[in-house]
Amino acid sequence: SATPATLSAISNGAKNGILFKGGAAMEALSTMDILYSDKTGTLTYGDFVVEEYAADEDTLKEVVTIEQHSSHPIAEAIVKKFKTLDLDSVDHSEPVEEIVGSGMKKGDIIVGKPDSFKDYTDPSNYRDQIIAGNTNIFVGESGQITGFFSLADQVRDEAVHAVENFQNSDIEVVLLTGDNETVAEKVAGEVGITDYTASCLPEDKVRFVNESQKKSKIVGMIGDGINDAPALANADIGIAMGSGSSVAMESSDVVIVKNNLQKLFYSFMLSNRLNRIIL
Ligand code: ADP
Ligand code: MG
């Protein structure tokens, strides 16, 4: 069981909006060698704005109907933007499936990342409308691209300083995202991360975590999505954003209640001080 010093550090962390599920996580945080970070909702607000779109009204209605079944920030932005559409004409009986890390599916219709549409024809030339540095989404039906959305998100105010603080404490910070290469490069550049990998599936994130562990590194992973949950569970210290999906929080040892990454660094310093007391 936790020592009084550890309990006191946990309580201090809690007052600052960082919940530790146990003494072990508080003691381990400052021993971390590498911190893997998700992008959307973690380094960014996950508050997307639909900047461009192209689709006919029936397709739009299908997309909104489909995205109502997803809690992904992209889905929330699309549903919000088109909330006034009347969806009565859409078939609501067909099941909608989430393809974690890639998009959504309803029968023949898929909505998701452009990578999934490599074999699709593109009669309306939506591929030419992709905006570099944005998150771009296609809609496809029966082998044909039928819609396009381009969404933008913003880096969290405190992300740059938090990343810098961890780096100055000799923690390697690495970005892993399911999003495309140009967004990954842009966000990494904005927050000062040089090592990033785009188009990661949930199992790719797990692989990165496990590879570092094989090199005897103590691995932290921070994320918010369903797609991050397996990596969060595999990391030595799994850290979830409070705004994240419940499965991300359940898979983690630490929760950043108000999503402030600087508070995580504050807890890292508490852990540091604690280990100096214990040792
Ligand atoms: P991240 O690692 O950036 O949080 P995800 O792994 O959750 O991203 O998703 C990867 C990509 O899959 C997104 O950038 C998007 O292109 C696509 N995607 C995921 N969920 C959805 C959805 N509900 N609707 C449309 N596209 C989605
Ligand atoms: Mg995310």
User: What was the pLDDT predicted at 278?
Assistant: 66
Tell me: pLDDT of 12 over 60: yes
Tell me if residue 33 is catalytic.
no
Q: Are residues 114 and 219 in the same domain?
A: no
Q: Are residues 214 and 242 in the same domain?
A: yes
List pocket residues of ligand 1, CB cut-off 6 Å: 38-40, 67, 70, 72, 74-75, 101-104, 111-113, 135, 137, 177-179, 225, 227
Q: Are residues 134 and 239 in the same domain?
A: no
10 Cβ neighbours under 8 A, 6+ residues apart: 2, 20, 23, 26
Q: Are residues 11 and 109 in the same domain?
A: no
* Structural domain span for residue 68: 49-152
Residue whose CA is closest, atom 19 of ligand 1? 103
Nearest in space to 261 (alpha carbons), one of 186, 156, 172: 156
User: What was the pLDDT predicted at 94?
Assistant: 95
Helix (H, G, I), strand (E, B) or coil at 98: strand
Indicate whether this complex's ipTM tops 0.95: yes
User: What was the pLDDT predicted at 66?
Assistant: 97
Q: How many structural domains are present in the chain?
A: 2
Confidence of residue 97 (pLDDT cuts 50, 70, 90): very high
- Written as one string, the DSSP assignment of 169-230 is TT-EEEEE-SS-HHHHHHHHHHHT--EEE-S--HHHHHHHHHHHHHTT--EEEEE-SGGGHH
Q: Are residues 166 and 31 in the same domain?
A: yes
Q: At which of 105, 130, 152 does a domain end? A: 152
Nearest in space to 206 (alpha carbons), one of 176, 244, 246: 176
How many whole angstroms from 266 Cα to the centroid of ligand 2?
22
For position 28, which CATH number holds? 3.40.50.1000
Q: Are residues 239 and 191 in the same domain?
A: yes
Main-chain dihedrals φ then ψ at residue 128, nearest 5 degrees: -75, -15
Q: Are residues 118 and 148 in the same domain?
A: yes
Tell me the best of 227, 228, 232 to mutate to test the pocket of ligand 1, counting ligand atoms within 8 Å of each CB and taking the most. 227
Tell me: pLDDT of 80 over 60: yes
User: What was the pLDDT predicted at 2?
Assistant: 84
Q: Are residues 40 and 163 in the same domain?
A: yes
Neighbours of 145 (CB within 10 A): 20
210-244 tens-digit pLDDT? 999 999 999 999 999 999 999 999 999 999 999 99
Q: Are residues 31 and 75 in the same domain?
A: no
Sign of CA dihedral 27, 30, 32, 37: positive
Q: At which of 152, 179, 210 does a domain end? A: 152
| Average of per-residue pLDDT values in the chain | 95
Tell me the whole-structure pTM to 2 decimals: 0.91
Q: Are residues 107 and 25 in the same domain?
A: no
For position 140, which CATH number holds? 3.40.1110.10
118-174 tens-digit pLDDT? 999 999 999 999 999 999 999 999 999 999 999 999 999 999 999 999 999 999 999
Tell me: pLDDT of 279 over 80: no
What is the Cα–Cα distance from 191 to 215, expressed in whole angstroms?
Answer: 26
Q: Are residues 216 and 98 in the same domain?
A: no
Q: Which of 33, 38, 91, 236 is catalytic?
A: 38
Q: Are residues 88 and 192 in the same domain?
A: no
Q: At which of 97, 127, 152 does a domain end? A: 152
For 206-214, the CB contacts below 8 A with 24+ separation are: 206/230, 206/231, 206/234, 208/36, 208/174, 208/176, 209/36, 209/234, 209/235, 210/234, 212/33, 212/34, 212/36
